[in-house]
Structure 1
């Protein structure tokens, strides 16, 4: 697990090795009331790609409406793929997913960092992280267990688990860091 700490608060990015890179989950920056501090710590973590699964309303409520701008200005690729809380991807998400997934898998294969966030860093984030892990070639049960070891609340509904498990496994892509 990767922890980003600052005085008086701990912003946690729940990361695990996938491919040659790190795949991580986190809550929405600003959820603790310190948007600027959270964003600064994420920028220092240096993700190649941030996949944001929150809605525009959730971004605004957390004071994070400018998150995309702050991350892109810092050199991070931003992918906004909103899913309703406790939900699963809709048709628009499904159409965009193959390209977003390919970019994330390339980053992980090349040693980059990919951050997936939702409001709490659990259900939606866990669903998408598990899907990426399986697409990278991990066996579904092993990937789920590794993910839940780092973030026990990952994937909150059976529908989310079902979507994640629809992944097509690419065994040639899975090159795991030494633990």
Structure 2
């Protein structure tokens, strides 16, 4: 959430309700794509504790806002990918989170769909059909289409 002055804050009760809603929807995995500096001090710790208390496994894999995965992300991604793809293949729900829920979350959602064999343009269109602002710029869109070629 954002204060009127533009600074970020977390409402612990609202966060608990949101994370509880993810868990109630069947999510067991949550991948947070936000950089720690984007959130108030102690936010990652609070998110971790709250998620764990709800039975939601949480992982952090930051991507710079409005950007695509950097080398560090790509190095750390494989175990996350394996867990998320296995969950999706089993028909389970997974959750992705960034600051707004459009760019980075949409990017990774489409990347998972491409990894499951969906053509890139279809993956982008499907994600955008649920959230039109997803994959928020040409950099992200082009990256996904390049990733598809490398498969």
Larger proportion of helix: 2
SS in 1 for 2:18: helix
SS in 2 for 1:79: strand
Could you tell me which runs of 5 or more consecutive residues in structure 1 were left unpaired when the two chains were aligned. Answer: 1-30, 170-179
SS in 2 for 1:60: coil
CA distance in 1 between partners of 2:143 and 2:80 (Å): 16
Q: Which of the residues 27, 30, 40 maps onto 1:60?
A: 40
Runs (4 or more) in structure 1 with deviation over 4 Å come to none
Asked whether the 8 Å contact 1:88–1:159 carries over to 2, the reply is yes
Correspondences of 1:90-105 after superposition (within 5 Å): 90-105=70-85
* Partner residue, 2:104: 124
Give the CA deviation at 1:60.
Answer: 1.7
* Partner residue, 1:41: 18
Larger proportion of strand: 1
Give the CA deviation at 1:35.
Answer: 3.5
Correspondences of 1:110-149 after superposition (within 5 Å): 110-149=90-129
CA distance in 2 between partners of 1:155 and 1:44 (Å): 24
CA RMSD in angstroms comes to 2.1
Give the CA deviation at 1:33.
Answer: 5.5
What TM-score comes out, normalization by structure 2 length?
Answer: 0.80
Can you list the C-alpha shifts for 1:43-97, whole angstroms capped at 9, x where unaligned? Answer: 2331211110101122327x73310221122221111011111111111100011
* Partner residue, 1:3: none
Can you list the C-alpha shifts for 1:88-135, whole angstroms capped at 9, x where unaligned? Answer: 111110001121111101111112111111101011111111000111
What TM-score comes out, normalization by structure 1 length?
Answer: 0.69
Correspondences of 1:16-35 after superposition (within 5 Å): 34-35=11-12
Cα distance change on mapping 1:118 and 1:92 into 2, 3 Å: same
